[in-house]
A and B are shown apart, each in its own frame.
Chain A
């Protein structure tokens, strides 16, 4: 057998061993065995001197070819083995992806506060300035300044919680009206929102505490048509396009003419249902032109200036929107309720 044949056999055997290597460690050993400084192929190369001169070149070439081939095979095998090892490791990391995640409870806004914010935003867009006003109010601002005659039955309609002879919990946000008129000059466009209190038995539709919004506008040439237009604008923004408003006469001491305002029933769109008792309308607000007595009481010339005012409760809107049938849910704070909305 020639040295060449010998080399070929050696090469084949080495390649076969590389192909069969089971680990990178085994490959490392093979690499040393064949390609290392004292390795087999280095040994083969040293033989060159003992060969006839005419064979030396070819043999040298063959050894170098084999070296390169073997080296490439080892590298390739090593990559394959590394990949297999990674694959095996990843398989070992397998998860049950159907197990639940670490479900973080997100925070939510309270549905009634969200409604207040929505209402507030609409009035801000309509040019109103939001003001903060006391809930512990004087009898004067809550009633007298609003043209409630002394000992008039109109006061019965809003039985008040008294703190002492002069102070009570405001029965309506309208109590802010004179406060704001006194510190401003027309044109005035202001709004306030917040808690109000009335002596009332608590049930699904009544409470001793409720939330209201109140707006008023005083300027030259303000008319009842402006009031209607403003509330129509609000209704469309709040309840959607196509919502109409209906005005009919009502009485509140601080406005004249006074009106009760209804909007197209949001449930049946005005065709009549059990929520609107078949009328197609839902009562929304009390409104009217600010009574000259109220303006004059605040030092505003009622000949030069006129104004309108309106106010309404907040609770009803999310009740209708979300189908909530019990007012008490809002302030009971049952998380099973709050986490739904």
Chain B
């Protein structure tokens, strides 16, 4: 809200410099965001918190500033000269829905000449950010800015039946608001109607049919108190936020209703001539009187951590116009009606704290009651991050809100959680997998000219399963290009990412976590190349997938290289990884080594060879590693040679060559028998 200082001075005398006053207001909770200039005068731009509707006026700001500058608030003088006939002969007012309107005041001014407002008023309105229109409308705005009470002026002659009826709208009722827009009303919206039709959307905007125009002579000024929740709903539903609705939403002082009406009538008379009808119509089905709130000084001190005496507290509250006395050691506060935010003890605690100054509060620390600790997920996540980083992977952080097309791409549309009010079409859902996001990182970096990428992310994915929402953690990665920055002397196959580099990274991670019994098998996943994808299994439980990105996925994202990806279930890893790695005795006896070049059908999986060797070589085959893979004319069509290195060792004694040869024979004959292998 804009507060022209020249206007503020009408209600409060102060001599301190403006930046000092701004600082004091800010430290009291009424933040002066900026000191600007308008109409050649300084203006405070203040940020009013939603709980303090009473600050949305010059008087409200002056009232807060008064104790800060040590001066008294000056209320505008009321000198209404009502000389006309009784107001009751011009208008009758009825409230049919008192739950939504606690008070409605009507004042009539007749014989007004509508015209431009005087300079001083135009300047003040402009400085406060409002456009001057004509003297009648300007006065309603002026008084609203001055006292915080939204007002509306009707052309009395355009009201049918000389009646005002405050009621809920009827289904299908329409009104053209003064911004010349047709509005369709709903039955829970409050309207101001005459005997035939709605003439205003209560507290939001008046109707075009009854608005002040150049020919207007007789005026009804409306000053009412509407229920804030109703105004808020109506304003939201109609998409109209006005100065009036903004104030009603935040609460308007029910005691200022009549004061504001009379103030406006008098100003209109002064600026536009005419005669004010005698008396006011004041329909008040729900009168509001100041209420009592008690506070225990010891409680105030306990919450604030202070040591103030009750008299000091009472003085602070009185300074804020909250009439406070002390009885039986307790503070008894009579809360003025403009402070609707104060209803219980804690509200008074805050007022005392504000007046004392938060910056004056002492600093202590709570008693130590427990050891701090990380969550299990936090601890394990850090372990995982360290391993991945040590594998050379760069950590990234991608958005959870994504295009639902990505879930389609992953073949998991049925799992996707959609947003009802997305920011844009391409952010209409929550990610179901991290893989497309990480491919997106490759794509984006490719467009910046960075083609060597090895990234990972530990983050949540979001699933809907049978209406239930869940957000499990995943660890995923994507790689493309080379892992080496300078590689002029490396063989070509060591330079570019392929399935086996990606698999090797996953193997390294699982090994570092101490997870055993890991195996891999083909998998069909829409995100993976149909023949270059694998599921990662521990025992018979699938914990993730890895492989080359599916060509169509890659192409749809304009990725030129052939990236590889992996995604593993965080919770499964956390469960499978031993918290503590156990030490195994170092071998006591020497090992013997043998190489074996096994020729099998190219359809035979390496895993089958492994399991035959493990089975037949038990218990002395300690380790098997693949040395070379060869296909070619020498061994024949449809065949492949796998050279493995075997390590033989016994836990009990030193093995002899003869013993190893016996085992090797067993292994070879098992391979021959079970896989039809031959040997080179």
Say if A and B assemble together: yes
B491: min CB distance to chain A, Å? 11
Selecting from B79-87, B159-167, B357-365, the interface stretch reads: B357-365
- Among A113, A131, A247, A336, which residue has its beta carbon within 8 angstroms of that of B448? A336
- Chain A residues in 8 Å Cβ range of B378: 120, 130, 132
Contact B346 A292 (CB under 8 A): yes
Cβ B420 vs Cβ A248 within 8 A = no
Assess whether A183 is interfacial by the CB under 8 Å rule: no
From A136, A152, A202, A330, residue with most partner B Cβ within 10 Å: A136
- For the complex formed, measure the closest distance between the CB of A218 and the CB atoms of chain B, giving whole angstroms: 10
**Distance, CA A229 to CA B469, complexed state (A):** 39
Report the minimum CB–CB distance from A138 to chain B (whole Å).
10
| B236 → A minimal CB distance (Å) | 8
A residues less than 8 Å from B144 (CB atoms): none
How far does the alpha carbon of A135 sit from the alpha carbon of B471 in the complex, in Å? 8
Contacts A132-B377, A334-B448 hold; do A257 and B353 have CB atoms under 8 A apart? yes
Least Cβ distance of A97 to chain B in Å? 13
Restricting to B423-466, which residues have a CB under 8 Å from any CB of A?
423, 427, 430, 441, 444-445, 448, 450, 452-455, 460, 462
Pairwise interchain contact A292-B344, C-beta atoms closer than 8 A:
yes
Give the distance to chain B from A151, nearest Cβ to Cβ, in Å: 4
Q: Taking the complex as formed, is A162 at the interface, i.e. its CB lies under 8 A from any CB of chain B?
A: yes
Q: Could you tell me the distance between the alpha carbons of A172 and B486 in the complex, rounded to whole angstroms?
A: 45
Complex interface residues of chain B between 356 and 383 (CB less than 8 A to chain A) = 358-359, 361-375, 377-378, 382
A259 at the interface (CB under 8 A from B): yes
Is A197 an interface residue, CB under 8 A from the partner? yes
Q: Which residue of A lies closest to B423 (CB)?
A: A208
At the interface, yes or no: A153 with Cβ under 8 Å from chain B? yes
Residues of B near A167 (CB, < 8 A) are 469
Contact-size category for B: 35 or more
Chain A CB within 8 A of B334 CB: no
> Which residues of chain B are within 8 angstroms of A68 by Cβ–Cβ distance?
none
Distance in angstroms from B299 CB to nearest chain A CB is 9
B280 in contact (CB, < 8 A):
no
Q: A225 and B304: CB pair below 8 A?
A: yes
Residues in A whose Cβ lies below 8 Å from that of B460: 135, 195
Q: Does A56 contact B (CB under 8 A)?
A: no
**B580 / chain A contacts, CB cutoff of 8 Å:** none
Q: Which residues of A are found within 8 Å of B421, using beta-carbon distances?
A: 161-162, 199
CA A260 to CA B361, docked complex, whole Å: 14
Query: Once the chains are docked, how many angstroms separate the CA of A123 from the CA of B370?
Result: 12
Distance A289 CA – B50 CA, assembled complex (angstroms): 18
Are A225 and B305 in touch, CB under 8 angstroms? Answer: yes
A308–B353 alpha-carbon span in the complex (Å): 15
Q: How far is the CB of B246 from chain A (nearest CB, A)?
A: 8
Q: A105 vs B479: C-alpha distance in the bound complex, in angstroms?
A: 12
Q: A135-B471, A223-B364, A333-B444 are in contact. Are A250 and B394 (CB under 8 A)?
A: no
Complexed CA–CA distance, A230 and B229 (Å): 37
Q: Are A338 and B50 in contact (CB under 8 A)?
A: no
A120 close to B374 (CB less than 8 A) = yes
B28 in the interface, Cβ–Cβ < 8 Å? yes
Chain A proximity of B451: nearest CB distance (Å): 10
A residues 117-166 with Cβ under 8 Å of B?
117, 120, 123-132, 134-136, 149-154, 156-157, 161-164
| A250 nearest CB across to chain B (Å) | 6
**Interface residue? B350 (CB, 8 A):** yes
Known contacts A229-B364, A257-B304; is-contact A333 B396 (Cβ 8 Å): yes
Judge if A94 is at the interface, Cβ distance under 8 Å: no
Q: Are A335 and B445 in contact (CB under 8 A)?
A: yes
Q: Determine the distance from Cα of A149 to Cα of B340 in the docked complex, in whole angstroms.
A: 13
- Please state if B232 and A256 are interface contacts (CB–CB under 8 Å): no
- A107-B394, A136-B471, A338-B394 known; A102 and B400 CB under 8 Å? no
Q: Which residues of A contact B362 (CB under 8 A)?
A: 225, 228
Query: Measured between alpha carbons, how far is A250 from B422 in the docked complex, in Å?
Result: 30
Chain B residue nearest to A220 in the complex (CB): B367
Check B469–A105 contact: CB distance below 8 A: no
B419 within 8 A of A: yes
> How big is the A interface, by class?
35 or more
A212 to B423, CA, bound (A): 21
The yes or no answer to B233 lying at the interface (CB within 8 A) is: yes
The answer to whether A229 touches B363, judged by C-beta atoms less than 8 angstroms apart, is yes
Contact with B along A192-226 (1 / 0, CB 8 A): 00010101001000001100000001010111111
Residues of A within 8 A of B344 (CB): 292
Q: Are A232 and B363 in contact (CB under 8 A)?
A: yes
Interface readout for A85-116 with B: 1 if CB under 8 Å, 0 if not?
00000000000000111111111111011000
Judge whether B488 is part of the interface by a CB distance below 8 angstroms. Answer: yes
Assess whether B484 is in contact with A226, with CB atoms less than 8 Å apart.
no
Interface string of B384-401 (1 = CB under 8 A from A): 010011111111111111
Residue from A105, A113, A129, A202 within 8 A of B452 (CB atoms)? A105
Bound-state Cα–Cα, A257 to B356, Å: 12
List chain A residues, Cβ under 8 A from B146.
Answer: none
Q: How far is the CA of A248 from the CA of B50 in the complex (A)?
A: 16
Partner of B350, one of A135, A223, A233, A257: A257
Q: Are B361 and A225 in contact (CB under 8 A)?
A: yes
The answer on a CB contact under 8 Å between A247 and B361 is yes
Q: Are B396 and A129 in contact (CB under 8 A)?
A: no
Q: Is A246 an interface residue (CB 8 A)?
A: yes
Q: Closest CB-CB distance, B454 to chain A, in whole Å?
A: 7
A162→B423 CA distance, assembly (Å): 11
Given the known inter-chain contacts A164-B420, A226-B366, please indicate yes or no for A123 contacting B303, CB distance below 8 A. no
Bound together, the chains give a CA A107 to CA B477 distance in angstroms of 12
Cα-based distance from A132 to B458 in the complex (angstroms): 14
Interface membership of A306, Cβ < 8 A: yes
Given A153-B232, A249-B29; A102-B487 close (CB under 8 Å): yes
Bound state CA distance, A83 and B363, in angstroms? Answer: 77
Q: Given that A103-B486, A199-B423, A338-B394 are known contacts, is A332 also in contact with B444, CB under 8 Å in the complex?
A: yes
Q: Is the CB of A187 within 8 A of B382?
A: no
Q: How far is the CA of A253 from the CA of B388 in the complex (A)?
A: 42
Does A178 have its Cβ within 8 Å of any Cβ on chain B? Answer: no
The reply on A339 being an interface residue by CB < 8 A is yes
Q: Give Cα A296–Cα B423 distance, bound, in whole angstroms.
A: 36
Tell me the complex Cα distance, A195–B444, Å. 22
Contact of B375 among A130, A153, A197, A257 (CB under 8 A): A130
Determine whether the beta carbon of B304 is less than 8 Å from that of A333: no
List, in ascending order, chain B residues with CB within 8 A of A129's CB.
Answer: 370, 372-373, 375
With A105-B483, A120-B374, A289-B303 as known contacts, state yes or no: A258 contacts B392, CB within 8 Å: no
Contact A217 B359 (CB under 8 A): no
Using A124-B372, A223-B364 as known contacts, say yes or no to A102 and B484 having CB atoms under 8 A apart.
yes
Is A291 at the interface (CB under 8 A from chain B)? yes
Partner of B400 from A113, A209, A233 at Cβ < 8 Å? A209
- Chain A positions within 8 Å of B218 at CB level: none
**Does B249 reach chain A (CB closer than 8 Å)?**
yes
Given contacts A130-B374, A199-B421, 5 further A-B contacts (CB under 8 A): A162-B420, A163-B419, A209-B400, A223-B305, A333-B444
B interface residues with partner A (beta carbon < 8 Å): 26-29, 31, 49-52, 228-229, 232-233, 249-250, 302-306, 344, 346-347, 349-350, 353-354, 358-359, 361-375, 377-378, 382, 385, 388-401, 417-423, 427, 430, 441, 444-445, 448, 450, 452-455, 460, 462, 469, 471, 483-490
Residues of A within 8 A of B (CB): 99-110, 112-113, 117, 120, 123-132, 134-136, 149-154, 156-157, 161-164, 167, 169, 187, 189, 195, 197, 199, 202, 208-209, 217, 219, 221-226, 228-230, 232-233, 246-251, 253, 256-260, 289, 291-292, 306, 330-336, 338-339
A-B contact pairs, 30 of them (CB 8 A): A100-B486, A102-B484, A102-B489, A103-B486, A104-B483, A107-B393, A107-B394, A113-B397, A120-B378, A132-B377, A136-B462, A162-B420, A169-B401, A187-B369, A189-B372, A223-B364, A225-B304, A226-B305, A226-B365, A228-B362, A229-B363, A233-B365, A247-B359, A249-B29, A253-B51, A306-B302, A335-B394, A335-B448, A335-B455, A338-B396
Which 8 A-B pairs rank lowest in CB-CB distance, beginning with the nearest?
Answer: A225-B305, A249-B29, A223-B305, A251-B49, A107-B389, A247-B358, A124-B372, A257-B350
